[in-house]
Structures are given as structure tokens and as C-alpha cells.
Structure 1
Amino acid sequence: MSNTKIQDPVFRRFYSHLNSAVTILQLYDGRIPFAHFVKNYFSQHKKFGSKDRRQISELCYCYFRLGRSYPQLATGQKIVKGYWLSKASWPDEWLAFFDSFHLPKESPDHIFPAVHSFSAGINNDAFTRSHLIQPDLFLRVRPGHKGAVTDKLKTADIPFVLTDDSLRLSNSVRVEDLVRLNQEVVVQDLSSQRVAKLLQLYQTVNKNEMVPLVWDCCAASGGKSILANDILQQMELTVSDIRPTILFNLKKRFQEARVKNYRAFVGDATSANPGRLFDLIIADVPCSGSGTWARTPEQLLYFEPGSIDAFVKLQSSITANIIQYLKPGGYLLYITCSVFEKENEGQVNLLQNKGLQLVEQLVLKGYKQKADTMFAALMKAPM
């Protein structure tokens, strides 16, 4: 790099951030989510301002986004290559700056592990290259709040795209300062919102005129339960999760979302007994999370493909238990945020072998919309 470039304040600041990112990456071993690790790092090193923290974190994520590509590059060079590829175009002075690092011209070729194990219909190249860019922030506008929410965003001069009830915004927007989370909007990825199609299908095909009994058996933060509440309007809800702290947080979220008619219990979905039969069971099961790795790109480096089988075993154990609690003719909504066939169509095949009928399944491809990629299937129990 020339002395002129070093003296330029923009490049001098970038080079300082680059050195900090290299230091952080050398300390990170993948055992905890990188977001937690880097937050802890900055809490111990108070010298970094908020803008510095954002830029340094972005550079680290640019390194992860390349996966196992460019093994010949030093850490700093790989960061710069990832940063270069994170945008479609750059000013000439930045291109000259990148050239000073003597980076390879070829495209990354080992971004995503196990690319030959994808669900049907996923474009390998488009999906893997989508990891070079950070996904957008998506909000689902809850019924009756569209006008108020869009007015607040316009007043704050926040750019957004509204499609039906889905809002797309920049990840830099602090939405909690602008709208009432959970009451007016729910933070929910675009593909997760599109699971609504199968809930609407359930509403159409379900012939039971009684208020449906619904069990969200891996409830986590309750996003799918709130979605079901907004679509079905009336339901008697049961939620469970193996983690007590999750259910504590879910209770607060339900209060904000004004979801009242529910009961909750701590339970392992592989063995939980909810004590009744249900018209609909929602199983957003633990999975590899591979459809969301553009948000957590450290997984591109640290995920072990062999662990897919462990997730498959867990998913099979969960579904084997919960289908016992479907009413005759009841419905199972099976969901993953995985792109791997074993966790998706493979599990549907196992459920079909146990007598369930496939109503519809969706590979929710978000990689062309800067969103997650997911899988969902609606299945019906025998009468």
C-alpha cells in the first residue's frame, strides 16, 4: 500500500479496524456464537466507539462469509477479499486500495459445506453466493397496525419496502425506537412469515367447527404462535419448550402481543406429554439452522457436516413423540430453517411411512430476497 493511501484518513481508519478484526478472529474458536463473543470482547476493550465496533464486526463477518475459500490467504487478506465482495460496486479509489493487497481474482469456491445435500429446488450457486451479503431486517405488521406503522417510519424518514404485511428495512435501523415491538410488529424473517401460507391452508382444510386446540411444541420465542394467533384468530394454545428461561421470556412477549388464551409448560419435545390431543401441532424443530447462516456466517467455517445426522435423529424423536397427541384427522405443521434434504423431505418421508398424509410442503427460498431459506410441510394424521 502506498504512503498516500496510508495517510488518507478513510484508509488509515480502515487499516486500524482491519488490524483489530484480525486480532479478534485469532482469539475466536467457534464455541459460542460470534455475536456473543465479539460483544464480550468489546465490553473488555472500552476504547472502541459504536461506529468502530460496527465496522470491526462487519469485517469479521466478511471473513466468515467466504467459508473455507482462499485457504492460501492470510487472515487480513481474506477479510479484505470478503469486504470487497460484500458490495456490487466500489469507487475507483477503493478498487485501487483493494488491488494493493494482491488478492486472487477468482470467485470463492468453498463458501458453504455439504452443498450436495440440499433440498430439491435450491440453486446451489445462488444460495451459496447469497452468503457474501448480510440479509435484510424483516418485520411482520400485525393485523390493524399497517397504517400506524408506516406513518411512524415515514415520519422518522426511514426507507422501507412494504409487501402485503411484510416490511423490509436496513439492519442498521433501531426499530424498537420507532414502533411497538410484538404489539404492532413482530421481528420475523420473510421466509418465516411465508409459513403463514400453510396456516391459512390448515384453516381452509380443517373441517372442525370448534375452536382448534393448538400445541406449539418447540415454542422458543413464540414467533410461530403469534403468527398462528394472527391468522387463526381463535384458538386454544399450548406452548412448551425444554428451556425454562425461554418460556419466561415468551410470557413477557405474549403480554406485549396480547396473546392471552394459552397455557405453557417446560417439556422436552422428545418425551413431553401435554395431557390432551390437538387439532394442530406446530413443530419448529431444532435443526442445523443452515438456511440462516448468512446471519451467523461463522457457521460456514465451524459447522461439522457430520452433525446433520444428530439433528435428524433428534427431529425423528420429536415427531415420533408428538404425533401421538394429534387428534384423528389432526394436522402437523413441521418447520425447519435448514436447507438439508435429510432434515426436510427426509423427515416428511418418515412421517408418511408412519401414516401421515402430506398436504403441502414448501421450500421457502429466501436467498434472492436477502432473507433466510426454510422448509415447511403441512401433514394430516389418519382418521
Structure 2
Amino acid sequence: MREQTIMNQITGIIAGFDFSVPLHHYLKNYFRQHKQLGSRDRKIISSGCFSYYRCAKLFNRCSEEERLAYSFYLTGEKNLLSEYLFNKYSLTEKLLINERLAALQKSTSVLSFDDAFPFIRHLSEGIDANAFAESLFQQPYVWIRIRHGYEKRVADELLDSEITPVVTHKNASGFLPITSLTSLSSYLEGYFEIQDFSSQETLTLLPEKIMGNWWDCCSGSGGKTLMIANRFPEVNFLLTDNRVSVLENAQIRLRKAQVMNYKIQQLDLKKTPSFNNIFDGIVADVPCSGSGTWSRSPENMWNFDESKIDDFAKLQLNIIKKVIPFLKVDGLLLYITCSAFAGENELNAQMLSSDCNLTLIQQKVFHGYSHHADTMFGCLFRKNQ
């Protein structure tokens, strides 16, 4: 039976996955080694694995087949295998996730959110614990940010391609995860970037006008620089990261977006920088637990030790202490994490204020779980005399 064969593939992947690489990379390698699998089977297998890691912790007392069936049910995935399992376990369709969870609680042993997500006590103030936990069961939308001046071109191509956003907030549009966007000429030409809604919202922390020289000190592939340059094209940027590959990707993206006023430098902020630059502003999108993105990468929740929260908080504080000497007096520091944990967010903001001679202007948790997006934190500081 085809359904059983696919299920065996999924359970075999789960048994062999050791969390040493992201799940999507592991699946790509698996499919390269099993070229006999067709595209439809690959989609079902991928869906099954991600559904399992999103939900299966709730069903620790069940068999692997039951855990997969109930995980498919909670995530609302519909495919050949899920339909087979729904019929086998008499799972009737429910529209809302809380209705599906309630139905499972009546018929099987379901753990509480506290058991499935044992980090609730660490969440930042203002995060709705139940809403955040429920969001982990659903894959977020794919969000895009359109460059100024290219709105009509992108809209026309989306219309011609019969691609419709599920939702639009401000200048951001969200699409179902299965939507193919990277093959569009608008994307290839750099007219829009794929960037999560909450990530785009961090720009709202900046004042109406910024100028001068800015340092994107943990730049990754340049997403924050691209966003700021789109709004403030006169700003000059230095992008640094300790990974050559992401800096190469940043350069490709910046050129494609026609951003010219930048420099790129490989830099390890575990050491004190040796250059003499003084900046008007610094963007620090610091390394973090990534807990605000676990709905996209649910496998990371399975392998997470809560002691890492303190480790990341110390790393973040050390990075800021390394870069603050290069910020001019009255200069701005934009501190960003993709974490949902207070220790990396508002508690670290308090430490930064006291230890780094900074005045906190504003801070905000971006509740991505309300928008099918990532949950993030950002705060803006001004350097004192």
C-alpha cells in the first residue's frame, strides 16, 4: 500500500534525524539519495516530518503512527497519507485548531502546552502563552517586502501568474507556504525581497529620518540593511559577519537591489574590532535562540536546552559591549532578536542600559503569532555622553 510505504519513509527519517543540521537540509539530502521518490511523495514526506516536529510532543504516550496522524490533524495538512490516517483514526474535520485539539483531548492522551512546550515561563512579557504555543502547530506565511517604486510591476506579475496574497499588512504581503515566489522575474530582478512580517516591522522603531554611517554588525545576508536602505537610501552601510558565505550572499542581494553605498567586511565579534570607524547608528540583529521562529523550524524546539537562554543572553551582551565604543555620542543602537524569551529581550535591554551607557528610547515585542509570522523583539537606544 502506497500510504504505508510513505509512512515508513517518514518514520525512518524521524528515527535517523539527529538535529545536527536543519530539517529542510536533511530532507534535501535524503531526497537526493532516494531519487525514486516522485515530487508528490516528497511533498507528503516533508509535510509529515514538519507536522510531526510541530505537534508530536503533545502525544508522547501514543504510537509513532498515532503521533503522525494527530500531528497531521492539528496542522490541518491534507494529502494522501493524512486522509488515510484521518479515516483510520476517525478524525473528523474541524475548522479551528482549538476545536481539533479539543476533539483529540476527548479521544486520546494529550499533554498540556506546558508539557509540550516547557519554556512558557521564559516568554517575554505581553506574549499570550496559549496563542504562541498554538502558533507552533502552524507553518507561518511567506512574506514579501516590495521595493519602493516597483509596487505595480510586482502586483502585475502576481496577477498574471494567478498568485494572490492571503493577507496584506501595510507594505507587506503574506502568501501560503506552498506558494512559489522565487521563480518570478520580479524576485530575480530584485523588485521584492522575501522577509518576514515581524522583521519588516522592526523598522518602525527607527525615527522618521536617519542619516550618516550605519554599521550592520551581525548582518547575515543583509536583510536589515536592504530594508533600511529602501527607506533611507542616503545612508552609508558597513556590513560585517564572521561567515564568508553569508557576506557573499549579502553582496549579491545588495547589487540586485541596486544598493551601492555599502562596504562589506568579515569580522568576528568575539574579538574587539580593530578599525577606527565611528558610526551614527548600529543595527545589531544578534545571534539568539531563534525561539520566535520555531513555527518555521520546529525541530529546533526538540533539541533546545533552556540553559542556552542565559548563554545567548551573555553572548548578546558581549557583542553589544564590543560595538558600542564605535557608536558616536547620541548615536542610535537598534537591537533585534528573533527570540520570544525575556532573557534575550527585555531583561537584556535592562542590562544594556545599565552596562553600556545607553538610554532606552522604546522597545517592543512583535507578536508574529497574531499574523502567521515570526515573533521578534526590538529596542532602540541612544548613546549617552
TM-score by length of 2: 0.89
Instruction: Tell whether 2:273 aligns with 1:272.
Output: yes
Aligned residue type for 1:373:
T
Greater Cα offset, 176-185 or 321-330 = 176-185
C-alpha displacement of 1:158:
1.0
1:79 and 1:93 map into 2 onto residues whose CA distance is 12
CA shift digits 1:64-122 (9 cap, x unpaired): 1125322112222111110011129999987443338x961646533323110011100
Instruction: Tell whether 2:339 aligns with 1:350.
Output: no
What count of residue pairs does the alignment treat as equivalent?
365
Distance 1:44 1:136, change over 3 A: same
Greater Cα offset, 31-40 or 84-93 = 84-93
Distance 1:107 1:87, change over 3 A: farther
Q: SS at 1:168's partner residue? A: strand
Distance 1:287 1:126, change over 3 A: same
Q: Identify the residue that residue 379 of structure 1 maps to in structure 2.
A: 381
Q: Identify the residue that residue 318 of structure 2 maps to in structure 1.
A: 317
Q: Identify the residue that residue 362 of structure 2 maps to in structure 1.
A: 360
Q: SS at 2:369's partner residue? A: coil
Greater Cα offset, 303-312 or 21-30 = 303-312
Q: Identify the residue that residue 196 of structure 1 maps to in structure 2.
A: 203
1:107 and 1:99 map into 2 onto residues whose CA distance is 20
Q: SS at 2:59's partner residue? A: coil
Instruction: Tell whether 2:131 aligns with 1:126.
Output: yes
Q: Is the 8 A contact 1:142 1:165 kept in 2?
A: no
Q: Identify the residue that residue 104 of structure 1 maps to in structure 2.
A: 108
Q: Identify the residue that residue 29 of structure 1 maps to in structure 2.
A: 18
1:88 and 1:30 map into 2 onto residues whose CA distance is 23
CA shift digits 1:19-48 (9 cap, x unpaired): 210111011111111111111111111111
Greater Cα offset, 164-173 or 177-186 = 177-186
C-alpha displacement of 1:322:
0.7
Q: Is the 8 A contact 1:285 1:335 kept in 2?
A: yes
**1:298-309 map, 5 Å:** 298-309=299-310
1:95 and 1:70 map into 2 onto residues whose CA distance is 16
1:380 and 1:195 map into 2 onto residues whose CA distance is 16
Taking every aligned residue pair, what percent have the same amino acid on both sides? 33
Q: Is the 8 A contact 2:215 2:238 kept in 1?
A: yes
Distance 1:88 1:105, change over 3 A: farther
Q: Identify the residue that residue 262 of structure 1 maps to in structure 2.
A: 262
Q: Identify the residue that residue 185 of structure 1 maps to in structure 2.
A: 192
Instruction: Tell whether 2:67 aligns with 1:78.
Output: yes
Q: SS at 2:269's partner residue? A: coil
Q: Is the 8 A contact 2:59 2:109 kept in 1?
A: no
Q: Identify the residue that residue 290 of structure 2 maps to in structure 1.
A: 289
Provide structure 1 residue ranges, at least 5 long, that are not aligned to the other structure.
Answer: 1-11
Provide structure 2 residue ranges, at least 5 long, that are not aligned to the other structure.
Answer: 92-103
Q: Identify the residue that residue 16 of structure 1 maps to in structure 2.
A: 5
2:323 and 2:298 map into 1 onto residues whose CA distance is 32
Instruction: Tell whether 2:169 aligns with 1:163.
Output: yes
1:33 and 1:96 map into 2 onto residues whose CA distance is 32
2:371 and 2:351 map into 1 onto residues whose CA distance is 31
1:74 and 1:283 map into 2 onto residues whose CA distance is 44
Q: SS at 1:360's partner residue? A: strand
Distance 1:94 1:40, change over 3 A: closer
1:55 and 1:176 map into 2 onto residues whose CA distance is 21
2:50 and 2:116 map into 1 onto residues whose CA distance is 13
Instruction: Tell whether 2:29 aligns with 1:40.
Output: yes
Aligned residue type for 1:248:
E
* RMSD, matched Cα: 2.3
1:136 and 1:293 map into 2 onto residues whose CA distance is 13
2:185 and 2:352 map into 1 onto residues whose CA distance is 41
TM-score by length of 1: 0.90
Greater Cα offset, 253-262 or 173-182 = 173-182
2:274 and 2:17 map into 1 onto residues whose CA distance is 40
CA shift digits 1:223-270 (9 cap, x unpaired): 000011011121111110011121111111111111111111111123
1:351 and 1:139 map into 2 onto residues whose CA distance is 32
